[in-house]
Chain A
């Protein structure tokens, strides 16, 4: 039972354009959401998070949007850079983030120069 779903296994965009990575969840108890970024042969690194009391959180080129009614969140990267090429994992947690993280399968982003 996949509680966190990233339906696009891969995404390719041109440098300078916007990258939009999507994530859907099924567990209505999830109230804290995170994005992790992973380069090959490295562990995932935290990128940005959002609490369910917000619908948007911005950090530099990265913005996460949360639509609670649709159980959907997205990560926007603007402008995209070749160094952003990596696998991006969406993760969710319940009880204000105090429960274990449940991860999606990841989306491989390729930013072409």
Chain B
């Protein structure tokens, strides 16, 4: 597809279970970002991949959160032992060359995660 694709679009999980969220960036985009938006909050940075550089994990809220990216393609965000406070919309974005000037980030539609 032409845009950033995320799956699933909605996920309901029980507290304590692990979840995996997937992001397919725009082909050719070297940079990929994960953000989350909790209810009534802004977009919270989680992690940033840029080419072969070490990812910027400074936004991951706890060691229950991890993310991987295979080359310059698909990324998965994994949340282990989910808690109710993990409920949020998880947004993935990609850009051609990372942040910088007119390197516009294109967002996917998000995955709405509900932990019950």
A contacts, CB < 8 Å to B: 4, 6, 32, 36, 41-46, 49, 51, 89, 91, 93, 96-106
Q: Are A98 and B43 in contact (CB under 8 A)?
A: no
- Name the one of B41, B101, B103, B108 contacting A43, with C-beta atoms under 8 angstroms: B108
20 A-B pairs within 8 Å (CB atoms) are namely A6-B42, A41-B110, A43-B91, A43-B93, A44-B43, A45-B107, A46-B104, A46-B106, A49-B102, A51-B101, A96-B100, A96-B101, A100-B33, A100-B59, A101-B99, A102-B45, A103-B35, A103-B42, A104-B42, A105-B40
Indicate whether A101 sits within 8 Å of B42 (C-beta atoms), given known contacts A43-B108, A46-B104: no
Q: Which residues of B contact A45 (CB under 8 A)?
A: 106-107
User: Please, how many angstroms separate the alpha-carbon atoms of A101 and B99 in the complex?
Assistant: 8
Indicate whether A105 sits within 8 Å of B41 (C-beta atoms), given known contacts A43-B93, A44-B91, A99-B99: yes
Q: Which residues of B contact A99 (CB under 8 A)?
A: 99
- Scoring A4, A43, A97, A102 by chain B CB atoms within 10 A of each residue's CB, the highest score goes to A43
User: Please, how many angstroms separate the alpha-carbon atoms of A36 and B4 in the complex?
Assistant: 16
- Name the one of A42, A46, A97, A103 contacting B101, with C-beta atoms under 8 angstroms: A97
User: Please, how many angstroms separate the alpha-carbon atoms of A102 and B100 in the complex?
Assistant: 13
User: Please, how many angstroms separate the alpha-carbon atoms of A4 and B44 in the complex?
Assistant: 11
Q: Which residues of A contact B13 (CB under 8 A)?
A: none
How many chain-B residues does the 8 Å CB contact rule pick out?
27
- Scoring B35, B42, B93 by chain A CB atoms within 10 A of each residue's CB, the highest score goes to B42
> In the complex, what residue of chain A is closest to B35 when comparing beta carbons?
A103
Indicate whether A44 sits within 8 Å of B98 (C-beta atoms), given known contacts A100-B33, A106-B42: no
Q: Which residues of B contact A4 (CB under 8 A)?
A: 42
Min CB gap B75→A, angstroms: 15
